Every structure is written in structure tokens, then in C-alpha cells.
Amino acid sequence: MVGAGAINMKNIRLFFSVIILFQTRSLAPKIIKFSTLLLKPVPNFVKSIHAWIPAASGMIATHALSGATTEVKSPQGTNITIKTGEDLTYNFYTGRWTAQSFSVTGVPDGLNFSDGSDNGSITGSIAQPGQYEIQIVGYRYANLRGSKTPVHTLNLTVNKDTESSEIENPLLDKFSDLKILTDRWQNSWLGTIYFPKDGNWIFHSQIGWLYAQSSTADTFWFYDHDLGWIYTSKNLYPFLYRHSSNGWLYHLDNSTTHRFWDYSQENKLE
């Protein structure tokens, strides 16, 4: 009985061994094929990786300060309206990436630009009403180097302040390109002038008090106590026509002692 049982167990082991061998032989080609697939180069996949890497690198470098990632921003927006003589403080900065320098163009007289790392400001006041367009560009590095942001445009509207004492004198509207100096002093094509609060009298820093009459901008008849009526305009000055002598005068640059050269008399006038 023992010998027969041992024989049967041996036969059973042999049977299972044959089955395992058969399965192993049938799986071997599949294993080998799969192993070959894993080890086989895939040139198309590799090529796609190589093609993507430089493109991605370029995208990262280009977008360091491009519109997709970084732009000049301001909590005050891009459209501002103020009055003549009103103080303006416009603050701006760059989002995400830091701009080390800024280019600001179109800043009108009376305003000043200052910047720091990642931010800047435009401050001051404007004497002349009008529409102004200020363009701001941020640069990645100092001295306007490196990649830059898209243009940020500030549209500035300056309206005349009818309540301001500085424009109550009607003659202010007759001069173009006035620049505020201090208080009521303004710089113009005629020179440095003091405008009282109202009336037609003005004080010229070199000529003295003049009574002014004007029908059109930058064209004047002035009454001088010594010379009488004299006429000039932005296009004629420093030449002036003297009505009493029917001759021409020339306003001297250094008029501390003599104010004009008289062509009809060929001498200097005090």
C-alpha cells in the first residue's frame, strides 16, 4: 500500500510538472515579446520630448515679463480726471514678476515720475487743461534691460478749474503754453508774468506793469506808462510795434537799465 501511494504521488507530481512546463513554454514568447517592446527605442516619442523641451524653455523665458504673466497695474485704473492745479498721485506696480526699471513717456509739464523696485509713481499738478496719454512699460532689469511688459496707458483728462483763483484773470486764457512758477507767477513766450486775481493789468518781470487788451490768443495791445500803446504777438515777439511813433521796438535781453531798442530813433529806451 505504501509503495502504491508513493507511486501515485510521484505520478501526480509528474503531471503537474508537465502542465507547468507547458504553460511556461507558452508564456515565454509573450514575456520575451513584452520585454523586447520595453527595451525597444521609441524614436517618435523621444523626438516629441526633444521638440517640447526647447519650446517649453523658450515659453518660460519669454513669459518672464510678458503680458501672459506680468503687467503694469494700478489700483486707480487707467482713466483719471482731475482739474487744473489739482495735485495728482498715480501709483503703479507690476504683478507676479518684479520689474526693476520703468519707461514712462508722455508725461506733461507739471508732473514728475519716480520709480523703485517693482513700483513707481507720477505726481504733481497740471496748469493747462487737455487730454494726456502717459505710457508705462516695465523692464525685468535695471536701465531698461531685459524682457518687458505690455504698454500700460494712463488716459489723463485735465479740466479747467473754474473755481480756482489762479484762472480768474481773463488774460490767462489768452496766453498759450503757460507754466506755473509760484503763486500767481507764470512763465510764457512773453517772459515771466505776474497775473493778479482779476482785471487786465499784468506785471512783466523786466518791462513792468502793462495794461493788456486781447481779442485773439497770443496777440496783444499793451499800454505802457512811458511808451503808450504797443503791439506784439507770439509770432512777432521780441519785436513790438509802437503806435505813438509808428515805429518798431525790440525788447532787449538784458533790460535792467534799458528795456527796448527803438529802430526809428536808433537808440535805447528806458
Give the full edge-to-edge strand order of the sheet including 111-115: 72-73, 88-94, 119-124, 111-115
Q: What is the pLDDT of residue 257?
A: 66
pLDDT digits (tens, 9 = 90+) for 56-66: 433 333 444 54
pLDDT digits (tens, 9 = 90+) for 156-175: 999 987 665 444 688 888 99
Q: Are strands 130-141 and 219-224 parallel, antiparallel or unpaired?
A: unpaired
Region 18-22: what's the mean pLDDT? 53
pLDDT digits (tens, 9 = 90+) for 204-242: 998 899 999 998 999 999 999 989 999 999 999 999 999
Q: What is the pTM of this model?
A: 0.41
Would residue 208 be called left, alpha or beta, if left means φ above 0 and alpha means ψ between -120 and 50 degrees? left
In 3-state terms the chain splits into helix, strand, coil percentages (rounded to 5) of 25, 35, 35
The answer, yes or no, to whether residue 22 has pLDDT greater than 80, is: no
Average pLDDT, rounded, for the chain: 79
The answer, yes or no, to whether residue 131 has pLDDT greater than 90, is: yes
Q: What is the pLDDT of residue 197?
A: 82
Region 18-32: what's the mean pLDDT? 50
Q: What is the pLDDT of residue 49?
A: 39
Q: Is 53 helix (H, G, I), strand (E, B) or coil?
A: helix
Under 8 Å CB-to-CB from 125, ≥6 apart: which residues?
Answer: 84, 85, 86, 87, 88, 110, 111, 180
